[in-house]
Structure 1
Amino acid sequence: MTASLGEFGDMMVSMLPKNLAFTVFVPSPESFRRVLKLQRPNDSATNGNGADDDATYAVVSRVLGFSAVPRRLRAADVAPPRHRQQMVAVAPVLESVSGLRISAWRRDVDGALVVNGVPSECVDIVKERDIIVHVMAGVLMDAEFERSFSSEFDN
């Protein structure tokens, strides 16, 4: 299964240093739209408002902080279920570059991951030499940042 990182996912990966190992749990293009309310990186360029560009960059870089782990982690590095009845196996708890605690599970033997409750859409995309990307069907973030995108604040 292959998945596109989309413009925002590519933007996230481009923010990482190229000479260090990272794993990034990138939200799918749909997750950027649905959860973070981001449409296209170039929308603000068409209306001439540089502040929109700055806000988009700030959101994407903040999500990167929650989603990037300073080490390589392939789906195969997460233990598979030990028994057929066991649904998940827990990997060691990781810490993102912003300090968010990240727990990854192998959902099943096909290699799909669940990270902090968010299922993967595609795993093990290799970018550069030392960057592993997993496309997620949601966004990893802390509770405070999540509240800022809650629908109760939408008018």
Structure 2
Amino acid sequence: MSRTRVSRNPIAFVSVVVLVCCFVILALTMLRLPDPNMRATTHHSHKLKIGKFGEMMMEMLPDYLAFTVFLPSEKAFKRDLRLDPSDSFVGEKMNDTYAVVSRVLGFSAVPRSISSDSVAFGKEMSYDSISGFVLHVSKDEDGRLVVNGVRSERVDLGRKGSVVHVMDGVLMDAEFRQSVQYDGEED
């Protein structure tokens, strides 16, 4: 008898449907299902070792926005910027290190996700970094990304919702490159 009362009363019927939907939504949020869009980039995140400077750069980015970071390798930081993890984080050098790393982040980060699969072989794509520096991204015959002439070492690493490509060099404009060069430099 109650079944006929609910089906005849539209207010009672809508209330039951809304109640069932609320329970379904509550159950799904309690399960905390993974975001299907993040599945492709997060499976590498537990293996990602990017060094002290890379960690410093990634900590500067917000967690809630997607970025692509063309992150210099540890040897690129040492070779191109003369930054050594053993002495760059002590005393007054810490402020200088932070300034250099944050400037490099401005040249290296793009406010969108760019996976290596989205770059076609032989086609160059241009993106503006967060500092406005134009990055020309292409893929070489080995399947590695090339950004402004700098080749990647590893690609498509996930970190805090961002895509990280480890590069064998530092992306920077000519003015910044000149400011970090030293007088005794052989290069």
TM-score category by the smaller chain? 0.7 to 0.9
The answer for unaligned runs of 5 or more in structure 2 is: 1-46
Greater relative CO (CA pairs within 8 A, separation 6+): 1
Match of 1:137 among 168, 171, 181: 168
When normalised by structure 1's length, the TM-score is 0.83
Render the CA deviation track for 1:48-103: whole Å, top value 9, x for unaligned: x2x211000000000000000000000001012xxxxxxx3212x10000010001
Aligned to 2:5: none
- SS in structure 1 opposite 2:68? strand
- Alignment check: 8 A CA contact 2:81 2:181 kept: no
Aligned residues: CA RMSD:
2.0
CA contact 2:89–2:97 (8 Å) conserved in 1: no
CA 1:19–1:44: 2 relative to 1, 3 Å: closer
Matches within 5 A, 1:77-116: 77-80=118-121, 88-91=122-125, 93-108=126-141, 110-116=142-148
Q: Which residue matches 1:29?
A: 74
State yes or no: 1:64 paired with 2:105: yes
Equivalent in the alignment of 2:153: 121
1:25 alignment partner, SS class = strand
Distance across 2 between alignment mates of 1:25 and 1:33:
16
Match of residue 59, structure 2, among 5, 8, 14: 14
**Secondary structure class of the residue paired with 1:24:** strand
In structure 1, how many angstroms separate the alpha carbons of the residues matched to 2:48 and 2:140? 18
Q: Residues 117-147 of structure 1, C-alpha deviation per residue, up to 9 Å, x if partnerless?
A: 0000000001122x00000000000100000
* Structure-2 separation of matches of 1:75 and 1:133: 10
Deviation (angstroms), 1:41: 6.2
When residues 9 and 111 of structure 1 are mapped into structure 2, their CA distance, relative to the original with a 3 A threshold, is same
The residue aligned with 1:39 is 84
Shift of residue 44 of structure 1?
4.2
- 1:41 to 1:94, Cα distance in 2 relative to 1, 3 A: farther
Equivalenced residue count is: 140
Match of residue 116, structure 2, among 62, 75, 78: 75
Going by fraction, where is helix more abundant, 1 or 2?
Answer: 2
- Contact 1:41–1:53, Cα closer than 8 Å, also in 2: no
Percent identity reads 47
Higher Cα Rg, which structure: 2
Distance in structure 2 (CA, Å) of the matches to 1:146 and 1:42: 21
